[in-house]
Amino acid sequence: MDGLKLSSRQSAARTVISVGSLRIGRDFILIAGPCSVENEEQMLETAQAVKAAGAHILRGGAFKPRSSPYSFQGLGLRGLKILRQVSEVTGLPVVSEVLDPRDVGWMSDYVDLFQVGARNMQNFSLLKELGHTNLPVILKRGMNSTIQEWLLCAEYILAEGNPKVILCERGIRTFERYSRNTLDVTAVPAVKELSHLPIIVDPSHAAGKASLVPALSLAAVAGGADGLMIEVHYHPDQALSDGEQSLSPAEFSQLARRLLDLRKFLETSSQSETPVVRP
């Protein structure tokens, strides 16, 4: 694919990114937590629940780019402080979205991974600045972007010296309106053919409805995703943002068991398969 110098499958071996004892790109990773950090109680209860269910990383937004300027925009610095405190209590690494290149430096004190949201996938100033940090970056696919455009955005981070890029498929905008977006499961094996970078899937933003999240999650695992990012809130009906697509802790716990069982089955099956010899 034209222009892919650093993210191309031919340019390097499979990338494995270390976050504590986690090896993203080798181990299957579950990232879970609420869309937004709302208060200490909400974050601590949700974090303890998702950790008990098997989650490896806690997510929570402190800065929220919303379609309406009147919607909840996040707690900002206070939200990041809560996220850090909860991380210290639970031992879970944390990821949060960064919106502005000027925030990258000081936010590094509060997060273990950065997230670039779909709306900022082509914020090239932000991508370049993230290329100067040593923290992993989860780069979400833009809602109207092709796979090539997405990988070229990853190149901006890689070209500035940061090799720790994790791609995240979160659904693309199509004519379908039943779901929030249309999950492009094709992107998972396609990225693995084209690039050495790990790829995870966010079924919550693809679905827009909690009822669809389990099926999309299982499909992503079957497609070969290196992990999932799932929205979980301890009271979804009271969430300040994205409650309709958030699982309860009990729902997440049940889903996590199914996901880990499926992953184990797929690994066992692949080890026992006879290779196909092509002339």
Q: Give 10-59 pLDDT, tens digit per residue.
A: 988 899 999 999 999 999 999 999 999 999 999 999 999 999 999 999 99
Average pLDDT (5-12) is 91
Per-residue pLDDT at 14: 95
Span 134-166, pLDDT tens digits? 999 999 999 999 999 999 999 999 999 999 999
Rg (CA), the chain: 18
Residue 229: CATH number of its domain: 3.20.20.70
Place of tokens 């709306």: 119
- The pLDDT value given to residue 278: 39
11 domain-assigned: no
What pLDDT is recorded for position 11? 84
Cα 94 to the center of its chain, rounded Å: 11
Kindly report the number of other CB atoms within 10 A of residue 18's CB atom: 12
pLDDT at residue 74 is higher than 90:
no
* Per-residue pLDDT at 212: 98
Q: How many domains does the chain have?
A: 1
b vs e for 241-252, b when ≥16 Cβ sit within 10 Å of the residue's Cβ? bbbbbbbbbebb
CB atoms within 10 A of CB 7: 27
Predicted confidence at residue 1, as pLDDT, reads 67
What are the pLDDT digits (tens) for 172-214?
999 999 999 999 999 999 999 999 999 999 999 999 999 999 9
Q: What is the pLDDT of residue 260?
A: 94
Report if residue 10 sits inside a domain: no
Q: Which domain holds residue 171?
A: 17-263
Predicted local confidence at residue 193, as pLDDT: 96
Please name which of 190, 225, 132, 170 lies closest in space to residue 4, comparing C-alpha atoms: 190
Q: Left (φ > 0), alpha (ψ -120 to 50) or beta: where does 278 sit?
A: beta
CB 133 within 8 A of CB 78: no
Average of per-residue pLDDT across 54-77: 88
What is the phi-psi region of residue 13: left when phi exceeds 0, alpha when psi lies from -120 to 50, beta otherwise?
A: beta
- Kindly state whether residue 129 falls inside one of the protein's structural domains: yes
Contacts of 175 (CB under 8 A, 6+ apart): none
Question: What is the CB neighbour count within 10 angstroms for residue 4?
Answer: 18
What is the overall mean pLDDT for the chain?
94
**pLDDT of res. 268:** 86
Query: Please, which residues bridge with residue 232 across strands?
Result: 247
**Do the domain assignments include residue 1?**
no
Q: In this structure, is residue 5 part of a structural domain?
A: no
Rounded to the nearest angstrom, the gap between the alpha carbon of residue 25 and the centroid of all alpha carbons in its chain is 13
pLDDT above 80 (res 276): no
Domain contains 2: no
Averaged over 100-127, what is the pLDDT?
97
Within a domain: residue 271? no
pLDDT score for 230: 98
Predicted structure pTM score: 0.94
276: in domain: no
Give the dihedral sign, CA 17/248/64/184. Answer: positive
